Amino acid sequence: MSNTHKISHQDYVSVNPLFSRPGESSLASKFSLGEEGMLPETAYQIVHDETMLDGNARLNLATFVGTWMDPQAEKLYAESFDKNMIDKDEYPQTAAIEHYGWRIIADLWNAPNPEKALGTSTIGSSEACMLGGLALKRRWQQARRQAGKSTEKPNLIMSSSVQVCWEKFCNYWDVEPRYVPLSEEHRIFDGYNLAEYVDENTIGVVAILGVTYTGEYEPVLQIAQALDKIQQDTGLDIPIHVDAASGGMIAPFLQPDLLWDFRIPRVHSINTSAHKYGLVYPGLGWVVWRDEELLPEDLVFRVSYLGGDMPTFALNFSRPGAQVLLQFYLFLRLGREGYRAIQQASQDVALFLSKGISQNPAFQLWSDGSDIPVFAWRLREGHTKNWSLYDLSDRLRSRGWLVPAYPMPDNLNNITVQRIVVRNGMSMDLAVSLLNVINEEVAFLDQLSGPLPTRTTKPTFHH
Ligand SMILES: Cc1ncc(COP(=O)(O)O)c(C=O)c1O
């Protein structure tokens, strides 16, 4: 230990003498591989302690991603975390269960002919969106080539409130993003003025079922009708991909009559994140095409495992298979009624919280959680100049709650909102205490006699 003081604590973790063993190093290097190893108990304790400052997942109201599964799911997980999803020849049953998984989802999304639908599991919605976008692009290219036209300038139309995965898609695959900005009159992308954005180079339109910023559904039917009108006027037949990362596992249970899915013929493909409201641990997503014809054959790699013909369409090769089993477990365990009850419980909590927040005179609701159980609010105009929602977010963090504040997307980015994502596990009891904490912290901030200094730097995490 004598040289501890000469060594930078930035570079080493010092091992607590209580659990270091005789002869073991008392320092563990962070940035280079140590010469010698250590006992598993010691290494475990170091990693365990290093993560202590992470937030408490149950109090993290920023994430959409599941943070709890029951003991039977955990048992299945522990039995299967060695399975690689791509090894379909070694794990034919896991491959078969993946097939059951997307077929069940195709059915939930009202595919007109589920035997003709095609789907796959993915690592999450981001990969699923990339695959959906690639299929749109390839089909457009094929049609253009057949017509002897240029394929140089594909574009994709979406709201400015898309999740970053669509920006990535456009960036990585050289597609021009055409963002439809939001406005106070059109606070959600609703197909208004769509004709101004569409042209012969448009590969598709993305509609979001559960906007990440506010939890609201974009009206897929209305967007489809705007595209029907464009087709009548111009002959351009533009498909829709629905990014139902969250709503894909909410709408079938809570809003079964809402038309957003394969009941709309223009909807070619849909994705969801199983690790969000699918209730599975990260990372699993699904993407389904209404008909196999919509997924160009030249994007699919065929592997002759299982003595048959196994199509694969994925960005990664190896990927955990355990989550696919967890999803099937939940489908069996919960059934429609189980999912409905769980999603309804989350929605009840979201509506309770949004109502409570709307009753505080400091706030004005943006959305109330009646689409997905996610809602956002802003400071009521004229309420205060002394503090912002960023300050409230800081105060809540000091009480253990992670409730992010952020600017809205273009053209509403002068508006700051704060958002709560209600997930399974956020009980009414927790909601009541959160509401009390919010009201207490607002009362505290309202007492300030002058403005809080604004942060000049964002809070960082320290190595
Ligand atoms: C609408 C939407 N699309 C895509 C994603 C990306 O999902 P994933 O984290 O599963 O890649 C999110 C995540 O929040 C989302 O809200």
Q: What digits encode the pLDDT tens for the residues 138-190?
A: 999 999 999 999 999 999 999 999 999 999 999 999 999 999 999 989 999 99
Residue nearest to atom 16 of ligand 1 (CA): 212
In a domain, 63, yes or no: no
Instruction: Work out how many domains the chain is built from and give that number.
Output: 3
Ligand 1 atom closest to Cα of residue 273: 10
Ligand 1 atom closest to Cα of residue 129: 4
Ligand 1 atom closest to Cα of residue 208: 1
Same domain membership, residue 204 and residue 233: yes
Please report which residue ranges of 235-373 form alpha helices under DSSP H.
251-254, 322-358
Same domain membership, residue 342 and residue 269: no
Same domain membership, residue 31 and residue 90: no
Q: Amino acid identity, residue 174?
A: D
Whether 212 lines ligand 1, by a CB cut-off of 6 Å, is yes
The pLDDT assigned to 167 comes to: 97
Distance in angstroms (rounded) separating the CA atoms of residues 167 and 183: 20
Tell me what percent of the residues of the chain surpass a pLDDT of 70.
95
Instruction: Look up the CATH number of the domain holding residue 357.
Output: 3.90.1150.160
Show which of 330, 359, 394 is a domain's final residue: 330
Instruction: Look up the CATH number of the domain holding residue 118.
Output: 3.40.640.10
Same domain membership, residue 305 and residue 371: no
* Residue 126 alpha carbon to ligand 1 centre in Å: 6
Same domain membership, residue 253 and residue 185: yes
Distance in angstroms (rounded) separating the CA atoms of residues 230 and 340: 37
Same domain membership, residue 76 and residue 137: yes
pLDDT of 434 higher than 70? yes
pLDDT band at 457 (very low <50, low <70, confident <90, very high): low
Could you tell me which residues come within 8 angstroms of residue 296 by beta carbon, excluding any fewer than 6 positions away?
Answer: 135, 138, 139, 142
pLDDT of 120 higher than 90? yes
* Residue 113 alpha carbon to ligand 1 centre in Å: 27
Tell me what percent of the residues of the chain surpass a pLDDT of 90.
73
In a domain, 228, yes or no: yes
In a domain, 14, yes or no: yes
Whether 122 lines ligand 1, by a CB cut-off of 6 Å, is no
DSSP-derived secondary structure for 267-307: EEEEEEETTTTT-PPSS-EEEEESSGGGS-GGGPEEE-GGG
Domain containing residue 21: 4-54
Same domain membership, residue 320 and residue 339: no
The pLDDT assigned to 276 comes to: 96
pLDDT band at 294 (very low <50, low <70, confident <90, very high): very high
In a domain, 155, yes or no: yes
**Which has more pLDDT, 301 or 416?**
416
pLDDT of 10 higher than 80? no
Same domain membership, residue 263 and residue 136: yes
Range scoring the smallest mean pLDDT among 27-31, 365-369, 374-378: 27-31
Whether 216 lines ligand 1, by a CB cut-off of 6 Å, is no
pLDDT of 2 higher than 50? no
pLDDT of 56 higher than 70? yes
Distance in angstroms (rounded) separating the CA atoms of residues 207 and 185: 18
pLDDT, one tens digit per residue, over 88-103 is 778 888 989 999 999 9
